[in-house]
Amino acid sequence: MKLVDQVVRTFRVAKLFRDNTERINNIDFSPSGELLVTSSDDDQIIIYDCEKGTSKRTLNSKKYGVDLIHFTHAKNNAIYSSTKIDDTIRYLSLHDNKYLRYFPGHTKKVVTLSMSPIDDTFISGSLDKSLRLWDLRSPNCQGMMHVGGRPVAAFDPEGLIFAAGINSEMIKLYDLRSFDKGPFSTFVLSMEKECDWTGIKFSPDGKTILISTNGSIIRLVDAFNGNALKTFTGHLNNKGIALEASFSPDSQFILSGSTDGRVHVWNAETGYKVCVLNADHTGPVQCIQFNPKYMMLASGCTSMAFWLPAVDE
């Protein structure tokens, strides 16, 4: 099935899970698309089986809290940031609930975490105004950049470049092999100052960068020259929270949650709203992602919803 406007409009909630008592703060599909992992403010880590549509396992991180959870390239391992005690990043075996390694160094809350799409490298950014590069095989920081403001960061699809959004006003592009020489490109963007950048993502085809905010605006920029391409609006964010925006795997559609519990979808090329999907969410939809391999969406507030297209329509 090809992902086109008509198919996107037929997406319906196929499964709804109410396993959490508090906000789901991050979701991530495994690279194979077979599993989804969530972290939440009630300190739970839940693994879902996407093929069977079932919750597979629940783990607790009561002592340290959990946020920004991401699968590594091993489907049973994940990294996540802490919300209690310290700001150490933790590397966890989801199979037996044992820590494999700790990554200490940040002195304030970690607000961005991105796993390389090709190897064991990952990048973290913190309110201590630094970005750090890591390798899963070593607890020692592989490199650090003082960026002078709150950062958001992401790898490009080939894992050769990473983008750092600084102070909600500029994007710096670094070559991973020579990041210590500084950025090779810097784009300064003029955006409405009433909102802050809360996330950036490269499109799967590597051509554009999507900027999420804590306001009711999402911006798409050219990854090569920084030109503003499209602005997506119309979703609600009247609570000033970080609403995730995501690409479809073919880079053709942009998805975002909304504080009214609905899901908004735009065409990335035209900028036009394709549809608004009514979910069974009772609160703000903060997390939304498209499965990288299967025709499936996942969205989270305090409940977790899996969406499938209604093929008979």
Amino acid identity for residue 125 in this structure: G
Q: How far is CA 92 from CA 100, 158, 198, in A?
A: 6, 25, 25
How confident is the model at residue 128, as a pLDDT? 92
Closest CA to 15 of 249, 286, 280: 280
Asked if 64 and 47 count as a contact pair (C-beta separation under 8 A), the reply is no
Give the contacts of 140 (CB within 8 A, at least 6 positions apart): none
What integer best gives the mean pLDDT of the chain?
Answer: 90
For the chain, how many residues are written? 313
3-class DSSP state for residue 5? helix
Q: Which residues contact 281 (CB under 8 A, 6 or more apart)?
A: 257, 261, 262, 299, 301, 303, 305
Q: Quick one: pLDDT at residue 193?
A: 63
What dotted CATH number matches 27-241? 2.130.10.10
- Residue 1: the pLDDT is 59
Which alpha helices (DSSP H) does the chain contain, by range? 5-8
In the beta sheet, which residues pair with residue 263?
257, 277
pLDDT at 134: 95
Tokens 């609930």 correspond to 97
Question: 64-79 in b/e burial notation, b at 16+ Cβ within 10 A?
Answer: bbbbbbbbbeebebbb
- Which tens digit of pLDDT belongs to each residue from 176-196? 988 888 889 999 987 666 688
Give the rounded distance of the alpha carbon of 146 from its chain centre.
Answer: 23
Between vectors from CA 156 to CA 155 and to CA 162, what angle results, nearest 5°? 45
pLDDT of residue 310: 84
Task: Identify the pLDDT of residue 240.
Answer: 73
**Could you tell me if residue 91 is left (phi over 0), alpha (psi between -120 and 50 degrees) or otherwise beta?**
beta
**pLDDT, averaged in runs of 10, over the chain (313 residues):** 86 91 92 93 92 89 83 91 86 91 90 93 93 93 87 95 92 90 89 80 96 92 94 82 92 93 94 90 91 94 92 56
